[in-house]
Structure 1
Amino acid sequence: MNSGDVSALDKLSVSTLNIWNKAGPWAERLPLIRKQLQELSPDVLGLQEVLRFIPDEQNPPAPAPDNCQAVEIAEGLGYNVAYGVAADYSGGLKFGNALLTRYKILDSRTFRLPGADSGETRSLLYTVLETPWGRLPVFVTHLNWKLHHGIVRVKQAVYIAERILVLSPVESDFLPPILMGDLNAAPSADEIRFLRGEHVLDNRSVYFADAWEYAQPASPGYTYARSNEYALKNGEPNRRIDYIFVRGPDKQMRGEPSNVRLAFTEAVPGSTGTVWASDHFGVACDLSMAPK
């Protein structure tokens, strides 16, 4: 379904995927990601663990699009790309979040998340998109990954909620903001329950609709799944840790999730075994945009 078809239906198609940087057989994973992206054809796609090479005087640029994984993935598919750095490695190499969208990007900013003293640096990518229904704020993030870093993720979730409120106030003319990414926490974790309005943190409460819980409550929706051979090697249990949230639906029912499903789940034979798009599965859904 292309952007024009979605517009006619008054629905926005959204997806998120942690692309696992360049781990594993990237040369074989890249075409598989691109194939499934073409089939899914979302209007908005959030990506995490995206490597980008930003040249400087000591590090000359690489040929485009090789200097950014998001650009490699999007090449020739009609997407605009925004990128936000989370970690700065040596030699001009960056690690962060990205957004691919069929719409014009009106604004793009990156905010550092709390928790750098934990040994991980994380960020929040903020964009505003010009859509047929109005200005749409979209946030892409990736929280600390270690299982015992719940206290860090709690602080990050509170910061993100505050930042969203500042950048897209509830009583503004923005469409309901979207938050998506790899939150590295199961639905029962305090940080997720806080975002879903089920838990108070630091005397604060918010509400974002968890698209999966809103439209697929009977299915576990594991995105880090032992059925994926890349994830299985880490020896972790099945978990749903990748999310699409929307603040709403609002009073006009804009932002109501539907057609929620796992994405980027296809596996194909490769040169050294089965190839998956990533060690994560993605999430995809439609969001209503027209007022009811």
Structure 2
Amino acid sequence: MSFCKPVGVLLFLTMLFLSGMAPALEVKVMNYNIRYGSADDGANSWTNRSALLIAQLKEQAPQVIGMQEALRFQINEIRKALPYYGEVGIGRDGGEEGEYSCILYDTRRFTLTDSGTFWLSETPEKRSQDWDSACVRICTWALLKDKETGEAFYHFNTHLDYRSAKARLNGVHLIAKRIAERKTNAPFVLTGDFNAAENSPPVKWLKGEAEEQPPVVMVDTFRVLHPDEKTVGTFNRFKGDKSGAKIDYILTSEETTVLDAGIDFSMPDGRCISDHYPVTATIRFKTVAPPFTSTKRCSSISLPAA
């Protein structure tokens, strides 16, 4: 029985495709502005809420976390309590100085293969501030590889400016450009406190809803599963408010499957854990089989006779 018969060819190609297809990569992602720990927040100061935040992370068990406003001592405390998390990032003022937009990743599952931080400015490779921003702003990224499957993905994480609309829009332009220019075609996720509502120019632009199209169109993982949800306020001001705008995001490419997504409105004993609620998403990245490169002729392969 020759492989060149239609049934044999179909069977051969199906087996070849399946053998080259890596298992789908599923990841639980969290975005969390944890409120900078040096703030004079009285009863809501870091010392009064750090244990609650650590317990929340244990319960949610995200495999990667994009954090905003994290200071060095806060990261140290979190990692001491949860030592299986590795860390990527630097302070926005350089080295360990200033707020981090760090990425924490579960080292039991992932290996860090590449990473970096760039500034949201006209000179992104050095500490700098542009576009009338109130603060220095950065984006940290990591390329993480699954230890079991070998599949990899990029995680970009940022905190956009609260004052300057120009800085927010130019910031996402730069981030999208960097995502489009990433070194490999591995899929990506973008997390961040954007300080911008869902109908704002930077968010609409990233989602391809503006006149000018981004180099990579993204979807809001929360809205994929909850398109009509009204209670989405992620900035609670330590008041437990849920009625405001959603300004915290987990975005990814249109090809990615969203399995679960939500906003964690937890308030243990009626207390806010941070002045932002964390957002979560479990996503399945699209896996593409490697191309078939064999040069053997079909006629040279045969099956045993039935």
Greater fraction strand: 1
How far apart are the structure 1 equivalents of 2:179 and 2:236? 30
Which deviations, in whole Å up to 9, do the C-alpha atoms of 1:239-273 show, x marking residues without a partner? 10000001231xxxxx211211112x32234xxxx
Listed as ranges, the matches of 1:159-198 within 5 Å are 159-168=174-183, 172-174=184-186, 176-198=187-209
Of residues 272, 275, 286, the one that matches 2:271 is 275
Listed as ranges, the matches of 1:58-137 within 5 Å are 68-77=73-82, 78-87=84-93, 93-102=97-106, 103-114=110-121, 115-116=129-130, 117-131=132-146, 132=149, 134-137=151-154
The verdict on how the C-alpha distance between 1:88 and 1:214 changes in structure 2, with shifts beyond 3 A counting, is: same
Q: CA RMSD in A?
A: 2.5
| SS of equivalent residue, structure 1 residue 27 | helix
Instruction: Report if the CA contact (8 A) 1:133-1:289 is conserved.
Output: no
The verdict on how the C-alpha distance between 1:113 and 1:230 changes in structure 2, with shifts beyond 3 A counting, is: farther
Which deviations, in whole Å up to 9, do the C-alpha atoms of 1:52-103 show, x marking residues without a partner? 2xxxxxxxxxxxxxxx3223213242111112322369xx642121111112
Instruction: Report if the CA contact (8 A) 1:133-1:290 is conserved.
Output: no
Q: TM-score, normalised by structure 2?
A: 0.73
Return the offset for 1:287: 0.4
How far apart are the structure 2 equivalents of 1:134 and 1:239? 35
Which deviations, in whole Å up to 9, do the C-alpha atoms of 1:137-187 show, x marking residues without a partner? 1000000012xx21221111101100111125xxx441x111001011001
Listed as ranges, the matches of 1:210-249 within 5 Å are 210-220=220-230, 221-225=232-236, 228-229=238-239, 238-249=244-255
The verdict on how the C-alpha distance between 1:145 and 1:243 changes in structure 2, with shifts beyond 3 A counting, is: same
**2:5 counterpart residue number:** none
Name the count of aligned residue pairs: 247
| SS of equivalent residue, structure 1 residue 281 | coil
The verdict on how the C-alpha distance between 1:121 and 1:177 changes in structure 2, with shifts beyond 3 A counting, is: same
Instruction: Report if the CA contact (8 A) 2:66-2:192 is conserved.
Output: yes
Q: TM-score, normalised by structure 1?
A: 0.77
The verdict on how the C-alpha distance between 1:165 and 1:275 changes in structure 2, with shifts beyond 3 A counting, is: same
Of residues 24, 27, 36, the one that matches 1:12 is 27
**2:258 counterpart residue number:** 257
How far apart are the structure 2 equivalents of 1:109 and 1:205? 21
Give the number of the structure whose alpha-carbon radius of gyration is greater: 2
The share of aligned pairs that are identical, in percent, is 26
How far apart are the structure 2 equivalents of 1:261 and 1:241? 13
The verdict on how the C-alpha distance between 1:135 and 1:225 changes in structure 2, with shifts beyond 3 A counting, is: same
Instruction: Report if the CA contact (8 A) 2:177-2:215 is conserved.
Output: no
| SS of equivalent residue, structure 1 residue 28 | helix
Q: Give 1:287's aligned amino acid.
A: I
- Gaps spanning 5+ residues in structure 1: where? 1-7, 53-67, 250-254
How far apart are the structure 2 equivalents of 1:10 and 1:242? 24
Instruction: Report if the CA contact (8 A) 1:84-1:123 is conserved.
Output: no
Of residues 59, 66, 76, the one that matches 1:46 is 66
Instruction: Report if the CA contact (8 A) 1:231-1:280 is conserved.
Output: no
Instruction: Report if the CA contact (8 A) 1:223-1:241 is conserved.
Output: yes
The verdict on how the C-alpha distance between 1:200 and 1:71 changes in structure 2, with shifts beyond 3 A counting, is: farther
Q: Give 1:284's aligned amino acid.
A: T
**2:54 counterpart residue number:** 34
**2:18 counterpart residue number:** none
**1:63 counterpart residue number:** none
| Bigger mean CA deviation after superposition, 238-247 or 10-19 | 10-19
Instruction: Report if the CA contact (8 A) 2:134-2:161 is conserved.
Output: no
The verdict on how the C-alpha distance between 1:145 and 1:230 changes in structure 2, with shifts beyond 3 A counting, is: farther
Instruction: Report if the CA contact (8 A) 1:85-1:110 is conserved.
Output: no
How far apart are the structure 2 equivalents of 1:88 and 1:218? 41
| Bigger mean CA deviation after superposition, 213-222 or 238-247 | 213-222
**1:284 counterpart residue number:** 280
How far apart are the structure 2 equivalents of 1:282 and 1:190? 23
